[in-house]
Amino acid sequence: MSDRQRLVVGISGASGIVYGIRILEALRTLDVESHLIVSRGARRTLAMETAMSLTELHALADVVYAPADLGAAVSSGSFRTLGMVVAPCSVRTLSQIAHGFGDNLLARAADVTAKERRRLVLMVRETPLTLTHIRNMATATENGAIIAPPVPAFYTNPGRLSDVVDQSAGRVLDLFGLDTAAFPRWGEGLQAPAGAA
């Protein structure tokens, strides 16, 4: 067995596939073994939002699973991981995870992560929210998930879109105890200007 830490990365069809891509890139830099599940909807988003091919996306991960492969390693609680991040997480995927509908590998792996009491982080991408969305977030939270929408921090004075993405992806990886060192932190070189209240 490998001594490397493992993290499962799910990419659903919501807008914001750049977050999943950036997390995979960061995991490679951190030498964390990435186990990737790309939903069918995410394949369409990849084509709409990037110039990257599916093959190129897969190449960022250590292990790639087909979304219909319910017999994959990540579908079992005996397969040890740090947990799972879904980046981005569509409201459809949120609903499946909140209610335990494991009819595809992404939802099944998330369900396994929750039942094993491992860290499950959902970068939910939707606005505005319906009451159903909010209730599904509450249900997922009650089941142990962390809802972490990619909300940018402007106190870092981002100059490029990549700065915003790095900060959101880095904050999510913080939840797994993984430090990308890719963004400035409050209190570590960043502080309020004199006289600010």
pLDDT digits (tens, 9 = 90+) for 12-70: 999 999 999 999 999 999 999 999 999 999 999 999 999 999 999 999 999 999 999 99
Q: What is the mean pLDDT of residues 177-192?
A: 85
pLDDT (tens digit per residue) in 134-181: 999 999 999 999 999 999 999 889 999 999 999 999 999 999 999 999
Confidence grade of residue 197 (pLDDT, cut at 50, 70, 90) = low
Assigned CATH topology for domain 6-182:
Rossmann fold (3.40.50)
**Confidence at residue 195, expressed as pLDDT on a 0 to 100 scale:** 58
Domain boundaries, the chain: 6-182
pLDDT computed for residue 191 by the predictor:
65
DSSP lists the bridge partners of residue 83 as 119
Q: Whole-prediction pTM value?
A: 0.94
For residue 1, is pLDDT > 60?
no
- Mean pLDDT for 126-136 is 97
The pair phi, psi for residue 34, each rounded to 5°, is -100, 135
Beta bridge partners of 190: 186
Q: Give residue 177's Cα distance to chain centre.
A: 14
Q: What is the CA radius of gyration of the chain?
A: 17
Q: What is the structure's pLDDT at 186?
A: 87
Mark 20-59 as b/e (b = at least 16 C-beta within 10 Å).
bbbbbbbbeebebbbbbbbbebbbebbeeeeeeeeeebee
Using alpha carbons, select from 101, 121, 122, 124 the residue that is nearest to residue 111: 101
